[in-house]
Structure formats: C-alpha cells, structure tokens
Amino acid sequence: MSAPDVNLEKQKHRHRRMVLGIWIGVAIAGLVGIAAVIAIFGFGADLQDAIPPES
C-alpha cells in the first residue's frame, strides 16, 4: 500500500542525479570491460604474465 500523498513528479526530480550517477557507473564499467577485451584479444596480452611468479 502506498502513501496517499505521493507526488511522482517531485520524486522524479529528486532522483534524477542518482539515476544519472548509476548510468555513469554503468558506462564506466562497460568501457573498462571493452578495454579489457581489446587488451586481451586485440593486443595479445597474456593475463598470466601479470601474475608474479611464486617464490
């Protein structure tokens, strides 16, 4: 059951920055993922070389 005094337009306005922040975070994560795929498949990077050998 919702509160009787819900103003959806006011709520949309109040949450606009938060939703924008979420979209920016999703975009950054997507760019990092694309960069990782390009680094692995495009440049032939071997992720095993990034792990230091055990002593």
Higher pLDDT: 46 or 9? It is 9
Is the pLDDT assigned to residue 9 strictly greater than 70? yes
pLDDT score recorded for residue 1: 61
Q: In the numeric block, which tokens belong to residue 15?
A: 């949450």
Average pLDDT, the chain: 83
Cβ within 8 Å of residue 40, ≥6 positions away: 47
Residue listed under structure tokens 């709520």: 11
Is the pLDDT assigned to residue 53 strictly greater than 80? no
CA angle 42, 53, 55 (to 5 degrees): 175
CB 30 within 8 A of CB 24: no
Is the pLDDT assigned to residue 48 strictly greater than 90? no
